Amino acid sequence: MKLLKTLLVLALLAVAGAAAVVTTGAYDVAADTPHWPSTYRLIEFARTRSIAVRAADIVVPDLDDPALLRSGAGNYDAMCVSCHLSPADGEDTELSLGLYPRPPRWDALGTVEPRAAFWTLKHGIKASGMPVWGRSMDDRYLWGMVAFLRQLPGMSAERYRAAVAASPGHSHGGGETDVGGGDPHAQHGGAETPRSSFEPVDDPTAAPTPAREHEHDEENHH
């Protein structure tokens, strides 16, 4: 009984303490004030577990498929190097230096378990610089990049440049949608089929899709 009370008091104190830290502004959100090492390790652990659990059932395609690798090279070069750098350009950028947590370098990305890498690409990571790519790209292009990531460790600058040059499209490997693009019919070099006439042009400012009828009805009240 006494133990219970003590526990309860401790729990209340913890909640009150947390509330105090929040309301007094004592918690420093600045990205240039690092977490305590133990906090950092805790967040890292939470992230690793969160991803591992959610990625466990993902079915991995053949990551040696040359078509996947080809599309991945161009897409990686077009979308990821500003944060993760590349064998051809290892110079730090403002983003790679300025983000906290720091984006892992390209060679480190190559060692990430493929399911976890795919999940991370598709969903992004909250409260970090890693964006959600699954909104604008089809899964197979995400897999293309996962396949390409695995080849990165030890890749020479020449091989990297050759892989990017051989990738379809001018700089992208294909698969991007025209998010915010002015011309919905614009085609990016690759031989992708166009968006059908019945799908709306993606508007990044639009509300998420309410696919249920009653929400639609609510919209129509006068």
Interface residue list for ligand HEC (CB under 6 A): 47, 76, 79-80, 82-84, 95, 99, 101, 103-104, 109, 112, 116-117, 120-121, 125, 128-131, 133, 145
CB nearer ligand HEC, residue 47 or residue 159: 47
* HSE-up of residue 158 (Cα within 13 Å, Cβ side): 0
Positions that interact with another protein (CB under 8 A): 14, 17-18, 20-22, 26-27, 36, 38-39, 42-43, 46, 50, 139, 183-185, 193-201, 203, 206-207, 209-212, 215-216, 218-219
β-sheet bridge partners, residue 89? 86
For the CB of residue 165, give the shortest distance to ligand HEC in the complex, in Å.
Answer: 18
Distances (CA, A) of 204 to 127, 136, 171, 177, 180: 20, 10, 22, 11, 6
Closest CA to 106 of 92, 126, 118: 92
Pick from another protein, ligand HEC, none: which does 22 bind, CB < 5 to 8 A by kind?
another protein
CB of 182 to ligand HEC, least distance (A): 22
Q: Which is nearer to ligand HEC, 58 or 95 (CB)?
A: 95
Structure tokens at 138: 């089809």
Nearest distance, CB of residue 216 and another protein, angstroms: 5
Return the one option of ligand HEC, another protein, none that residue 137 interacts with (CB less than 5 to 8 A, by type): none
Place of tokens 């993760």: 84
Name the one residue in this structure whose structure tokens are 């591992």. Answer: 52
119 binds, among another protein, ligand HEC, none (CB under 5 to 8 A by kind): none
Provide the token pair at 130.
């890693």
Question: Considering the complex, what minimum distance in angstroms separates the CB of residue 10 from ligand HEC?
Answer: 31
From the CB of 154, what's the least distance to another protein, in Å?
Answer: 34
How many of the other CB atoms lie within 10 Å of CB of 80? 21
Minimal distance, residue 49 CB to ligand HEC, in Å = 12
Q: Which does 197 bind (CB under 5 to 8 A by kind): another protein, ligand HEC, none?
A: another protein
- Point out which residues pair with 176 in neighbouring strands: 137
Residues 6+ apart with CB under 8 A from 95: 82, 83, 103, 129
205 binds, among ligand HEC, another protein, none (CB under 5 to 8 A by kind): none
Other CB atoms within 10 A of residue 126 CB: 9
